[in-house]
Amino acid sequence: MGEQPAEQPRLVLLTVGGSTPMTPGRTYVVGRDPQCDIVFPDRRVAWRHAVLRPEGEQYVVEDTGTITGTYVDGRRVRRATVTAGNSIRLASATDGPVATLVHSPQPLPTSTRTGYRPIQPVANVIPLNQRCVRIGRAPDNDVVVDDLLVSSRHAELRATDDGFEIADLHSDSGTYLNGHIVDRSPVGQGDIVGIGHSVFVLAGSELEEFADTGKVWLDVDDLVVTIDDRRLLDAVSFTVPERCLLAVIGPSGAGKSTLLNALTGLRPADEGSVRYDGRDLYREYAELRQRIGVVPQEDILHVQLTVRRALSFAARLRFPSDTAAADRENRVTEVIDALGLTDHAGQRISTLSGGQRKRVSVALELLTKPSLLFLDEPTSGLDPGMDRSMMSLLLDLAHGGRTVVTVTHSVLNLDVCDRLLVLAPGGRIAYFGPPTRVLEFLGFDSWPEAFDAFENDRDRDWAGEYRASPLHEEYIVDGHERHRPSEPAPVGAPVPALTLRRWFVQVRTLVRRYFTVIASDRTFLAIMILLPVVLGLMARALAGSALTVDSTINTLLILCVGAVLTGAANAVRELVKERVIYRRERAVGLPRSAYLFSKVFVLGVISVLQGAVLTLVALAWVDVDPTGSGGVLMSPRWEITIAVALLAFTAMMGGLLISAVVRREEVTMPLLVFVAIIQVIFCGALLPLDSVPGLEELSWFVPARWALGAMAGTLDLQSLFPTRFGNDLLFAPTIGSWLMDLGVLIGLSVVAGGVINLMLRRQEPAVMRRR
């Protein structure tokens, strides 16, 4: 009698095309022949390339005498014993098709999914022999996922009368079914449930877990980007293997940034697809974006903060709200150490060198352990030594378990990369392959010659030459044949996950970060405190001991201009100066409303306090009731303070609106001056505006007009200046008029908030705006 099947090693052979449970005692033929037991449609693989024979509790792999060879764990072999954990590569030790043997703790079901399968090995097989399986980060779950993107109690897979359903347990990062966020949904055989970095697939009566360990392929297929009938990217296709550093280079305007935006989903291509681990990035962006890190050219951190502080805030924003502070800080320490920033952890980012600052941005993106990392010109502005050190760092990151794609202008250290993509003008591929062969292929001795030709030899068909070359066959055609998924990804728009609790946590973190940033900018802080005091003192000097016919208008005018200047100046640069940070944070899930609310809250508190200080200083020990009216609702001093504080708030909203609209920070100051002048002219103190067609309607959009109206009502200026203000309804000394004036200020703020929201939306990654 032979051995009982139950005693045989339960091995599974994982390949890109799926998994093959190894039947005990059976021999498997591996090759390109469709008749083989395990088929690799790769031109480098021989028709019948290798044989896997059972031998005791293990298998023996035998090469059939091929030229390209068979490799076990990177070593070329003729014959070798293999078992769980060994990887067998055919045709190339580095990028040949791979098959990995893993243990399956339970016999695999006979009906496994025939379509998409993750490339990652099965990390865990969970028998579904109970009605409910809870998945989460906490140790008391049925399936524990040790991943900081996963909530303590994240989701449940429940048995139903018809099969199974997945239910999200109000997790922060969301539960995804085939790339779509779900609260609760039936799960069929082969459906992909995404939780953090893990993917679960229902297979028979078991749940297979695939952990994203960074071994993923990036497949780019026929990308086309067209703007105004002009092609910026033209049929760009390539495949980046796992653990690979790809550099993208090309002359200015060739489309490198356009390509990066298309690969990261920031601005999806008009045609073609980007597949990550076989899944469509655009269609499943909501889930897959969590696994992508993007380091733009500009700093994506507040440079006023220390390295550790900035990373801690980022960790708070990116990890679930129930993550323990110690876990967060441990991860921050890990990335600081990994990026060689330990000695600079307590240093302000603004005081770091260019290379160190770039490392901090990389550290930030590594917090969530992305398996795809994209960088836009990380070496720009660095000296040759720092350039090399940055490229070596990227290579280490790639070989450490992720795919790294970097756009660069520097040709100094391209030899460090595993793959090089050269884009020719018009967004076409002039070269894709190993960096060592590029100049020879293009027919030049040096890069300057090549760039000169890109610029001047406009008639040369760079893309055609590459397409006709064996390199295209070897690195692009084969790659696509290997990794094209067997069924299309489901269609649908991404839906970012958001719970109310997470919203509050995000707002709290943003508010704390904002106050910390303000507090660390001493100059800004000093101006913020001194400005209302100085303006208040000026108004106080004008007011004298009492508001009189001579002094009242000028005092109120200074209060209006002071409130507008302080409020608007606080906000006028805020959104434009951190637009890159916002875009990045939005792409990883920050709700727009949380961001906007945090800005309005922090700046609102500051502006209201400034308005109050301005008024109280201006009216200190001043008799504030020239007509003895006693105010419309409360004491005139408080009514004026409320009107000025509200005006400062409305002006702050106006400042934020300017900041949301402009493209460059430099234009904000002239606009601030313009806004202040408009307030003076249209507030109604200098020019009579009532019953002046056109001007009157225009003045309704000027906040100072309504604030002055409220103050005029409080002080009953219609009695003090009957001929000048007697007919102006906004100046009436009645409760109704006063409340209307303040109500319109609030209304203007709300309208400004709405427009800012729209402007922020326009600046978001295109794929986030699709809904």
Ligand X SMILES: Nc1ncnc2c1ncn2[C@@H]1O[C@H](COP(=O)(O)OP(=O)(O)OP(=O)(O)O)[C@@H](O)[C@H]1O
Binding region for ligand X (CB under 6 A): 227, 232, 250, 252-258
**Which is nearer to ligand X, 256 or 283 (by Cβ)?**
256
Q: How far apart are CA 176 and CA 286, in angstroms?
A: 8
**Which is nearer to ligand X, 267 or 348 (by Cβ)?**
267
**Which is nearer to ligand X, 356 or 408 (by Cβ)?**
408
Rounded (5°) CA angle 394-237-584? 50
**Minimum distance of ligand X from residue 475's CB (angstroms):** 21
**Which is nearer to ligand X, 229 or 440 (by Cβ)?**
229
**Which is nearer to ligand X, 390 or 517 (by Cβ)?**
390
**Minimum distance of ligand X from residue 267's CB (angstroms):** 9
The residue assigned the tokens 């900035």 is 310
**Minimum distance of ligand X from residue 353's CB (angstroms):** 23
**Which is nearer to ligand X, 250 or 293 (by Cβ)?**
250
Cα dihedral 106, 107, 110, 114 sign: positive
Phi and psi, residue 219, nearest 5°: -110, 120
451 CB neighbour count, 10 Å cutoff? 16
**Minimum distance of ligand X from residue 407's CB (angstroms):** 7
Phi and psi, residue 689, nearest 5°: -110, -20
**Which is nearer to ligand X, 197 or 256 (by Cβ)?**
256
**Minimum distance of ligand X from residue 225's CB (angstroms):** 8
Rounded-to-10 torsion of CA 759, 764, 770, 771:
-60
**Which is nearer to ligand X, 24 or 253 (by Cβ)?**
253
Q: How far apart are CA 325 and CA 669, in angstroms?
A: 41
**Which is nearer to ligand X, 253 or 434 (by Cβ)?**
253
**Minimum distance of ligand X from residue 250's CB (angstroms):** 6
CB of 121 within 8 A of CB of 14?
Answer: yes
Here the tokens at position 695 are 């001007």
**Minimum distance of ligand X from residue 233's CB (angstroms):** 8
Here the tokens at position 305 are 């903060």
Strand partners for 275? 219, 280
**Which is nearer to ligand X, 233 or 619 (by Cβ)?**
233
Here the tokens at position 749 are 């703020």
Strands (E), 178-312: 180-182, 184-187, 192-195, 198-203, 206-211, 218-227, 230-240, 245-249, 271-276, 279-280, 292-295
**Which is nearer to ligand X, 264 or 699 (by Cβ)?**
264
The residue assigned the tokens 């989903």 is 265
**Minimum distance of ligand X from residue 528's CB (angstroms):** 37
Q: How far apart are CA 48 and CA 289, in angstroms?
A: 39
Q: How far apart are CA 294 and CA 169, in angstroms?
A: 29
381 CB neighbour count, 10 Å cutoff? 14
**Minimum distance of ligand X from residue 687's CB (angstroms):** 43
**Which is nearer to ligand X, 148 or 254 (by Cβ)?**
254
Q: DSSP for 624-691?
A: --TT----SSS-HHHHHHHHHHHHHHHHHHHHHHHHHH-SSGGGHHHHHHHHHHHHHHHSSSSS--TT
**Minimum distance of ligand X from residue 69's CB (angstroms):** 39
Q: How far apart are CA 17 and CA 37, in angstroms?
A: 12
Output the 3-class SS for 479-522: HHHHHCCCCCCCCCCCCCCCCHHHHHHHHHHHHHHHHHHHHHCH
**Minimum distance of ligand X from residue 571's CB (angstroms):** 27
695 CB neighbour count, 10 Å cutoff? 15
Q: How far apart are CA 239 and CA 252, in angstroms?
A: 23
**Which is nearer to ligand X, 297 or 333 (by Cβ)?**
297
